[in-house]
Amino acid sequence: MRAQRLLLQPTQEWATIAGEFTTAGPIYWRYLVPMAAIGPIAATIGGIVFGERGSLLTFGTVPVSLGTAVQAGVLEYVLNLVGVYALAVAIDVIGASIGAQRNRVQALKIAAYGSTPYWLASVFALFPRIEPLAMLVGLYSIRLYAAGLPPVTKAPRDRTAAYTLLTSIAATLLVLIITAIITRLVVS
């Protein structure tokens, strides 16, 4: 339900999220563990069924064996979970430099919940040849970051555009790093 509300009513849902008292554990267990699994499971199934895996770095596909598809899926899942934490750290550091509240859990909320379109779009990996379309859907995460940063991190409204841009760049770099690692495993 949270994912649906974030996509359809982001302003109201971010207000709710901002006021929730929680820790990193429940965010991971209740939301990230299942959401971060969508892409790796889809890519593994797609790799097994089609014998190839989509690659954002090549804007195409690369051949993959059954064993490599499973290894890449497991590695991608672990890297997704680590990547969200890395993004939360980046959001926290960037926020501090622009006058937002320093709070790692609030930053984790942005990283986890703001990436919802990315998590959901990763289902495109089920069909390796259309996987690059996921990037287009995943771009909606930028809109969610912009809507969530002010209420959740208490960021100054006049610096939201810069904060959103820097957060989006950090998220993109993390996705590219994870993709490069997975592509390296698959190609070697």
List pLDDT tens digits, range 145-158. 999 999 999 999 99
Asked if pLDDT for residue 131 goes beyond 90, the answer is no
* 161 found inside a domain: yes
Asked if pLDDT for residue 46 goes beyond 90, the answer is yes
Arithmetic mean of pLDDT, 1-27: 96
User: How many domains is the chain built from?
Assistant: 1
Distances (CA, A) of 126 to 90, 97, 114, 144, 153: 30, 40, 23, 25, 35
Q: Which two tokens stand for residue 155?
A: 């960021």
Calculate what percentage of the chain has a pLDDT beyond 90: 80
Query: Which range marks the domain in which residue 48 is found?
Result: 2-183
Arithmetic mean of pLDDT, 95-120: 96
Calculate what percentage of the chain has a pLDDT beyond 70: 97
How many CA atoms does the CB half-sphere of 142 hold within 13 Å? 13
Asked if pLDDT for residue 132 goes beyond 90, the answer is no
Q: Which two tokens stand for residue 23?
A: 């820790």
Indicate whether this model's pTM tops 0.75. Answer: yes
Asked if pLDDT for residue 58 goes beyond 80, the answer is no
* 188 found inside a domain: no
| pLDDT attached to residue 59 | 66
* 15 found inside a domain: yes
| pLDDT attached to residue 57 | 64
The span from the CA of 149 to the CA of 110, in Å, is 7
Asked if pLDDT for residue 136 goes beyond 90, the answer is no
* 33 found inside a domain: yes
Arithmetic mean of pLDDT, 124-134: 85
The span from the CA of 157 to the CA of 22, in Å, is 24
The pLDDT-based confidence of 128 (bands split at 50, 70, 90) is: confident
* 153 found inside a domain: yes
* 121 found inside a domain: yes
Asked if pLDDT for residue 138 goes beyond 90, the answer is no
Asked if pLDDT for residue 14 goes beyond 90, the answer is yes
Taking alpha carbons only, the member of 139, 119, 161 closest to residue 35 is 119
Three-state secondary structure string covering the chain: CHHHHHHHCHHHHHHHHHHCCCCHHHHHHHHHHHHCCHHHHHHHHHHHHHCEEEECCCCEEEECCHHHHHHHHHHHHHHHHHHHHHHHHHHHHHHHHHCCCCCHHHHHHHHHHHCHHHHHHHHHHHCHHHCCHHHHHHCHHHHHHHHHHHHHHCCCHHHHHHHHHHHHHHHHHHHHHHHHHHHHHHHC
* Average pLDDT taken over every residue of the chain: 93
| pLDDT attached to residue 135 | 80
* 90 found inside a domain: yes
Of 19-28, 33-42, 44-53, 58-67, give the lowest mean pLDDT range: 58-67
